[in-house]
Structure 1
Amino acid sequence: MPRLDTVVEEIAARMRSREERGKVASYIPELAKVPLDQFGIAVFTADGEMFTAGDADIPFSIQSISKVFTLTLALGKVGDQLWNRVGREPSGHPFNSIVQLEYEKGKPRNPFINAGAIAVTDVLLAGHQPREVLGEILRFCRFVADDDTVAIDEHVARSEKVTGFLNTALANYMKAFKMMENPVEHALGVYFHHCAITMTCRQLAMAGRYLAFSGRLPGKGVSVISSERARRINALMLTCGHYDGSGDFAFRVGLPGKSGVGGGILVVAPEKASIAVWSPGLDPHGNSVLGSLALEQLAKAMHWSVFGG
């Protein structure tokens, strides 16, 4: 087995030299400003070591990766009742599609597409003010990342709100089918803000530890969620974590992962490592071009696929 530190360094070097990097998410004005020539990787292993390379300490907007953390909180709050509000199947449609929502009478296909994540946010709002819920989400992210500097980028949140017409339409559509219990503007406000959380690759790899290690934070003896719940969240990440590119990612990388249009990807190698990569250039599905390629190379080099070999 090759040395992990060497593999990580070599991957970062190869990514630096690549010319095809995709395109930044220009539909969110603040994300359109992010320089394309960046790549970072961080790998936290079962024995507590952290290996990083490239731009692993530059903060970026985690965007849809935050949906993993809100899903964790919502399951903690209402358990399997959550599945009355949101499904568990891959969508096969773009992450912001309204077509499927009409066909399925306002019930989103899974918690990782935009409509599903807005529905999950609505569940978290029950009996609480938006500011309280946002504080809870941010505290949870800081707790699992073991870093109180994790923050929300207000410029990105504002940028999303100003341009978020489609997300507003999705939320109103669900409200029309009585799938939203709180005011639409409250759910959207919290949603836009939790998508605007910023982390570095190092922080994100730390934040994913509970999913990589059966619900526990290794070395701390702290259980965040049950091992069964961690396994189920990982299953959803594998089948739905990359929007309508999820099948291809499972085929190429073979690990549960959740991408965001900020260019980050959080990936779990069960009982082996929690991995974060970031490069802002995206493919047509909204997934990081270099991030996906780097993860494919890492999984192959370390034999980390959940499918063996």
Structure 2
Amino acid sequence: MDWTVKQRFDIEPFLKQLVSEARALPVSGKVADYIPALARVNPEQVGLALATVDGKLYCAGNATVGFSIQSLSKIFGLVMAMNRAGDSLWQRVHMEPSGLPFNSIVQLDYEHGIPRNPFINAGAILIADVLVSHYSASRQALISFIRQLAGCEQIFADDDVFQSERQHGSRNAAMAYLMKSFGNIEADVEKVLAHYFYQCSVNMSCKQLASSLTFLANRGVQPLTEKVVCSRRDAHRVNAILSTSGMYDQSGEFAFTVGLPAKSGVGGGIVAIVPGYGVICAWSPRLNNFGNSCLGMHMITGIAEQLGLSVY
């Protein structure tokens, strides 16, 4: 389906249909329960939003309900770090798929404290170190960045989730101290972890996420404000890493079946970037064995197939 046909296609009724279909599917998966605050989320919620580069926004289901964005926050942190550190960043974190679970310690040790990519936990903790080292108030800088992109000042980190993350973050702490032992964490480890847990605790809706990330579909320029968020080259790089590493150990399958750069989070959210067109955000808390939203995968696959959105 080409661009002109996409413009004529009646998208919002189609999104509502997808949400209805998703809700009617047999129950599959379970909410993330290793973080107690996430285990308490109502698992029946289903949201879907599509923001296009020409300024249109379509929503269905619980698209305006906020949820814990978790690993989706890694996109915002990475863009900020790329803007501040430049190409030197890639000496400290690589851009290859890991092939192992997102919280693997074995691989990190074997590769001398250099994370495989910025979207596994070790890589995101390294990015947090860059931000803590470059900003006197890194958490405030991050939330301000997100609010500007979303055009909403009412975006916050959920303190219950933040405290829950800190209390159950021993494995993340182990990775941070391991990288510190290799000299690849520069700031105080506890400050780095606090930033990382804080960014995972940010609460946003599908509508806000889709709107905030449209710059990645528009060569680094936020369409509504025409502000240059990152360079065209860096937008390309972020999308490339999303394509290979954004969906945990299901990234290859997602590229094979859907064909879009995407990132998921254990809060149940998934964002998919459609270069030149827009951003899709789907949310439903029940996760499959890979940590990806079962119904979110179903809905994004349906949109990509109907509109012919694969980049391949």
Q: TM-score range by the shorter chain?
A: over 0.9
Aligned pair partner of 1:59 in 63, 66, 84? 66
Q: Is the 8 A contact 1:208 1:275 kept in 2?
A: no
Aligned to 1:68: 75
Gap runs ≥5 in structure 1:
none
1:47-72 deviation digits (Å, cap 9, x = unpaired): 21111001001100000000000000
Gap runs ≥5 in structure 2:
none
Aligned to 1:41: 48
Aligned to 2:14: 7
Aligned pair count reads 305
**1:1-309 matches, cutoff 5 A:** 1=5, 2-126=9-133, 128-129=135-136, 132-307=137-312
Percent identity among equivalent residues?
A: 45
Runs of 4+ off more than 2 Å: none
Q: Is the 8 A contact 1:96 1:115 kept in 2?
A: yes
State the Cα distance separating 1:3 from its structure 2 match: 2.2
CA distance in 2, matches of 1:221, 1:184: 37
Q: Is the 8 A contact 2:66 2:203 kept in 1?
A: yes
CA distance in 1, matches of 2:229, 2:216: 9
1:247-297 deviation digits (Å, cap 9, x = unpaired): 111112110111110000111111111111100111111111110111111
Query: Which deviates more, 57-66 or 266-275?
Result: 266-275
1:197-224 deviation digits (Å, cap 9, x = unpaired): 0000000001111111111111322211
SS in 1 for 2:119: coil
CA distance in 2, matches of 1:46, 1:191: 30
Q: Is the 8 A contact 1:87 1:108 kept in 2?
A: yes
- CA RMSD, 1 decimal: 1.0
CA distance in 2, matches of 1:13, 1:205: 20
Structure 2-normalised TM-score?
0.96
Amino acid at match of 1:11: L
